[in-house]
Every structure is written in structure tokens, then in C-alpha cells.
Amino acid sequence: MRYTKEVLGQVLIFSVNSSVSPEIAKEISDDINKEILENKKIEKVAIDLKNQYTIDSSVFRILSPVGVSLRKQSKLFYILNPTAQLSAFIKEMGLASLMKPIDSLQEINAETKAAPPANATVFDVNFINPFIQGVITTMKIQCDLECTPLKSTLKKQLDPSIQVDIAGLIGITSKTFTGSVSICFPEKTFLSAMSTMMGEEFLEVTSELQEGAAEFINVIFGQAKKVLNEQGHTIEKALPSVIHGKNVDVKHTTAKFVILIPFASAAGPFYLEIGTGDKS
Amino acid sequence: MFSLETRILIVDDMSTVRRIVSKILKELGYNRLEMAENGQEAWDILNRSSFDLVISDWNMPVLTGIELLKLCRADSKYAKVPFILLTAEAEAVQVSDAVKSGVSNYVIKPFTGDILKVKLQQTYKKTVESL
């Protein structure tokens, strides 16, 4: 027998007696679907590798959809007792949130399902912080620019103290939040950041360079989206756009409120704006 | 590591990203580079000539990176050609889609030249091992 299965409490465990080949993975995958249908008490599924067997990298093409399907049913999927090498591979490939490597059944039993998120509001720091962190990480990695978020405020229309000449804007759509987010730069800050990123000095914002603002917001959005969707939000993919002109006012057309987060950096000031059309 | 004669197709709708990737590759010694603005243009170029490696953005208009990957994997000429996805989308579901579709490796944005170099080394190793 290539594997045995048993249900312990809410956990369905498959104990393999060899490394997991595509054939075994397919059998386990079919078995999981069957057991889940028949036993409504099952909340967690684990494949026990007993610290000795492994999973061929090609097998993840079979197991990943199982993880996705279980997650859609709010059930958890584990790779129990993996080798250190396999555990590292799963984490490196970004698959740990679909099939978490774990070292004991006790740890599985101790894990509780994350509560679904409450509707986000414009002042929910848990919603805003991933965007702020996204800005800090993106500017550091892409432009070698350390930046510091300053005190957030509600955006006032036509604030003379704030100059924006170019901005990248992207819409946010999810079950819990509708709005938009933009990264807004004075021309001088933008040119300095782009010059560092591209490794050559720019003196004016050409049409090609404008795309950099879209790319910044795209990357910031991607990072925040990952964190927020892991918390249970369901933010959808979106394509960014660019607003360019002398001292432009970025319109968050669906937003009732716009929160403005200024950043200080060696290249000059810039701003993150998050607009929400949240009904609350 | 891939030979310096490797023919590489870079696909991204953002010209700034194409330039950054191209600059990094040139610094590593790769000069046989071509660019495409979206998956459809890339597919046309791939059909007109031959490439040994594709580095493509994921989220693009017209034809996305994952759609381009699927076209490549379904075509005998490019079924086994290393294909690296560049993505700002690092979610497990997306990664799962990419793995299922036969991606060789992926680079999460933002990235540095060092990160891209490591990913190229990993991809080369995987490619050699799979031969």
C-alpha cells in the first residue's frame, strides 16, 4: 500500500510509505475530494512524509490545485514532517500559504482558522499599513531610497503645501473595500528616484519615464495585495494609469475620503494617497 | 549559468522595466536580447525567430505573461525553453497557476540585479537537471 489514511478529530491524514510520485499525488488528490464530500467534520488535511519521504517538484502541479480548492472551502492543507530541504523549497516557491510545512500533528491541532476580516474602513491601519510598507520596500529596492512615512491626514482639496507633478494610480476592488491608491511625486523627487532606478540621469519627465510612476504603484499594489489577501481580503488584479502635469490634483473618483500619507526621503518628499468609497 | 550566447526575449508592457532588465542582463554579459511590449508581440517574435530564454512580465494588456507561457508550453519549439515570470503578484494562488502552467522560475517585483542573477542561476540548474 502506497499510503494509509485516517481521520483524527478534524484532521484527515495521509501517511505515505514512499516519496510522493505524480501517480500517488493524483490518488491522494482524488481521495481528499472524496473524503471531504463524505465527512463534513474534516477541517484540515495533511500529507505525512515522516521526515524521510519527499515530493518531486513536478508533483506540486497536482497538489497546488488541491491547496487552492481546500482554501476556497476554508480548510487548511499541510505537509506534515517534511525534510528541511522540502520545507525550504515550499517556502521559497511561495506555496506555504497553500500547503504549510509543519513538524507535528500537535501544531496542526493547535492551529485555528483565521477569522474573516471585518469590512475595512479608511482608518483601518491594518489595511493601510501594507501599502505603507510596500512604498518603503519598493523605494528601497528599486531606487536605493530610504523613506520615512510622516503623519497621515485626510486629503484637503488643492492644498498649496503639496505639489504633485506625476502620479501612478490604481483601482482597488474587493468584497470589503472599493477605492484607489496612488503614489504622487513632485517632478524633482520623481526624476531623482527614476535616475537612480534606471542608472542614468534624467532631467525631464519623458513619456517613457512616465511609465515609471505606473510601475511604482503596480509593485506597491502587488505587495500590499499579497498581505491583504492573506488576511482574507479578496483584492482583484488591476492595471495602473499615470497622471502627469504641472501641479495636478489626483482624483480618486470613487472615493468619499482620501487619506494622505507624506513620505520624507533624500530625493525629496512624495505622497501615498488611499481613497475609499467604503460605505461605512 | 546560461552561456553568454543565450538568446533572450524580454517581455514587459512597461518600457522602464524592459530597460532595467536589459541593463542587468547586459551587465552580466548577455547581448543577444530582444524586447516585446506584450504577450502577443512576444509570441509573434518567438514564431519569427528562436530564443533560448524568455523573461516575461505577468500582468500585461493584450496577452498576459501566463497566457504566453501556456502558448509556449503547448508548442513543441518552446515546450522546454526556460521561462521566467516577473511579477508584482506574489500570492500563492498565482504562484500555483504559474507552476501548474510550467513556469521555470519567477521573480517578484521589486527586484535587484543580484536577485535576477540568482534566479537565472537557479533556472539554469533546473533546466540542466531536467535534461
| A75, A42 contact by CB (below 8 A) | yes
A96-151 pLDDT tens trace = 767 889 999 888 888 765 444 444 444 577 788 999 999 999 999 999 999 999 98
DSSP per-residue letters across B96-107 = HHHHHTT-SEEE
Looking at the complex, report in whole angstroms how far the Cα of residue A26 sits from the nearest Cα belonging to chain B.
14
Model pLDDT, residue A158 = 65
Cβ-based burial of B43 (10 A; exposed 0-12, middle 13-18, buried ≥19): buried
Model pLDDT, residue A276 = 81
Confidence of residue A250 (pLDDT cuts 50, 70, 90): confident
DSSP per-residue letters across A188-252 = HHHHHHHHHHHTS--SS--HHHHHHHHHHHHHHHHHHHHHHHHTT--PPP---EEEESTT-----
Cβ–Cβ contact B92 with A under 8 A: yes
| A60, B99 contact by CB (below 8 A) | yes
**CA pair distance A16, A21, nearest whole angstrom:** 11
**CA pair distance B86, B59, nearest whole angstrom:** 9
User: Which B-chain residues 6-65 have CB contacts (< 8 A) with chain A?
Assistant: 14-17, 19-20, 23, 59, 61
| A166, A242 contact by CB (below 8 A) | yes
Best to test chain A binding among B35, B91, B107 (most A CBs inside 10 Å): B91
- In this prediction, residues B63-90 reach a mean pLDDT of 93
**Whole-Å CA distances, A20 to A23, A60, A91, B75, B97:** 8, 10, 18, 29, 20
Cβ of A223 and B88 within 8 Å? Answer: yes
Q: The cell 519623458 sits on which residue?
A: A206
Which residues of A41-140 form beta strands (DSSP E)? 44-48, 76-80, 100-102
Q: Which cell goes with A21?
A: 510520485
Q: Which cell goes with A230?
A: 492573506
User: What's the DSSP call for residue B9?
Assistant: E
Residues of B in contact with A221 (CB under 8 A): 88
**CA pair distance B3, B48, nearest whole angstrom:** 22
Among chain A residues, the shortest Cα distance to B15 is held by A208
Residues of B in contact with A212 (CB under 8 A): 14, 16
Confidence of residue B89 (pLDDT cuts 50, 70, 90): confident
Best to test chain A binding among B16, B122, B127, B130 (most A CBs inside 10 Å): B16
Confidence of residue A279 (pLDDT cuts 50, 70, 90): very low
For the whole model, what pTM was predicted? Answer: 0.69
User: Which A-chain residues 160-219 have CB contacts (< 8 A) with chain B?
Assistant: 194, 197-199, 208-209, 211-212, 214-215, 218-219
Q: The cell 519521504 sits on which residue?
A: A53
Confidence of residue B42 (pLDDT cuts 50, 70, 90): very high
Model pLDDT, residue A93 = 63
**CA pair distance A245, A266, nearest whole angstrom:** 23
Cβ–Cβ contact A222 with B under 8 A: yes
A204-220 pLDDT tens trace = 999 889 999 999 999 99
Cβ of B109 and A64 within 8 Å? Answer: no
Residues of B in contact with A65 (CB under 8 A): 96, 100
Q: What is the torsion angle, in degrees rounded to the nearest 10, for the CA atoms of residue A35, residue A41, residue A45 and residue A50? A: -100
A153-204 pLDDT tens trace = 888 766 777 889 999 999 888 877 788 999 999 999 999 999 999 888 999 9
Among chain A residues, the shortest Cα distance to B114 is held by A141
Which neighbouring-strand residues pair with A166? A185, A244
Looking at the complex, report in whole angstroms how far the Cα of residue A218 sits from the nearest Cα belonging to chain B.
7
| Alpha carbon B13 to chain centroid, angstroms | 13
Number of neighbouring beta carbons within 10 Å of residue B48: 8
Q: Which cell goes with A260?
A: 494622505
Model pLDDT, residue A242 = 93
Residues of A in contact with B15 (CB under 8 A): 208, 211
Looking at the complex, report in whole angstroms how far the Cα of residue A134 sits from the nearest Cα belonging to chain B.
10
Is pLDDT at A236 greater than 90 in this prediction?
no
